[in-house]
Amino acid sequence: MPNDAHHLPVGAAAPAAASGSVTAIVPARNEEAVVAACIASLASQPEIAEILVVNDQSADRTASVVRSLMEKIPNLRLLESSKLPDGWVGKNHALWVGVQQAKCDWLLFTDSDAEHERNSASRALQIAQTHNAALVSFSPEQITGTWYERALIPYVYLRLARRFSYEQVNDPNSRAAAANGQFLMMRREVYDSIGGHASVAGEVLEDVALAMRVKAAGQRIWFGSGKGIVRVRMYRSFQEMWQGWKKNLYRLMGGTPWAVVREIESNIPWIPLLLIGAGLKYPFLFFLGVLLLIARQTSYGLDLARNHFPFSSIFYYVPAVLLYVAMLWASYRGHVNGRIQWKGREYSVGAPESAR
């Protein structure tokens, strides 16, 4: 998934007519540590006429943080999400609540932990105009703090790059469709015409499901790198990271047991490991196995560089493979058992109806 998929200059601004044409909607469940930075980064953009933060039954100070900012940011509003209806994922319902209050022609859905550069909305609007796109989505620059983030996050995104190439997704003649819910902007009339989040109420991958529905409706989508536009630190603990990828990874990698088998088989460096094991008796095979493992690690490093991840992440290759395979298996088991957990809620998961 190349990170130079678009060629607009970094400082490009949208046409003057685009000013004030966007409603930003931010779902927030227990986000007191990060929501202020997100709001501040949205408030500095003239294209964003209103910022709607939907408090999704938070048990922390999320609502208080937002209220304190409302005194300084006049276009900021706090909405409260009611009890989660049956069949809905919490984020989808919070976004749906926000849309009901939105007044602008464009809807920008973004997560509470996303921090935007001053040009994020203008870049998206200009791309929409240039490519006649009804949906524009950026894959944010990923910020990693701990060793397990540095190991797993780049590895997962490189696997996603193989599955969802920007070129195919942006090709109107291809059935491929994808988007990233950390930054997903859609024309309101198209959102309404496909049924909005109500049509993907129970989807844990609502961003991909929405993109598929938009493309199936004959509308163009544009998906590209958000480097220098929006950045996110997705997880701040191992448990959060485990639950997050357990929720999504199975569906992202195909959503079938056979897809999981293929993915595991292609990621584990079987031959180097077998040679290293045999090398306990035959030293030359050990040496050959190590060389092959280094070659595979080097290839991974080149992929990291091509996708603008730090080359130093090459040293996390082996733990990255182990974490990835373990999380993919856990995600498969969770979906097969029909139950996943996220942010203190448990969801039933079945066949992805809206993605068929």
Predicted confidence (pLDDT) per residue in 274-287, tens digit? 888 888 888 888 88
Answer for the pair 89, 62: CB distance below 8 angstroms, yes or no: no
346 pLDDT band, cuts 50/70/90, is: confident
Q: What is the pLDDT of residue 163?
A: 85
Q: What is the pLDDT of residue 212?
A: 96
2 pLDDT band, cuts 50/70/90, is: very low
pLDDT at 8 over 70: no
**Mean pLDDT (whole number) for 229-242:** 92
Q: What is the pLDDT of residue 17?
A: 40
Angular region, 178: left φ>0, alpha ψ -120 to 50, beta rest: beta
**Mean pLDDT (whole number) for 174-181:** 93
Q: What is the pLDDT of residue 356?
A: 30
Which is more confident, 226 or 346? 226
Q: How many CB atoms lie within 10 A of CB 317?
A: 21
Distance CA 165, CA 295 (A): 25
Which is more confident, 279 or 67? 67
Q: What is the pLDDT of residue 28?
A: 96
Q: What is the pLDDT of residue 236?
A: 86
Which is more confident, 148 or 352? 148
pLDDT at 55 over 90: yes
Answer for the pair 52, 25: CB distance below 8 angstroms, yes or no: yes
Distance (Å) of CA 163 to CA 1, 26, 169, 177, 271: 8, 28, 10, 11, 24
* Enclosing H/E stretch for 291: helix 283-306
Q: What is the pLDDT of residue 7?
A: 40
Q: What is the pLDDT of residue 281?
A: 82
Distance (Å) of CA 303 to CA 146, 159, 207: 21, 10, 25
Q: What is the dihedral of CA 211, 212, 215, 218, to 10 degrees?
A: -130
Tokens, residue 172:
């109107």
**Mean pLDDT (whole number) for 93-121:** 96
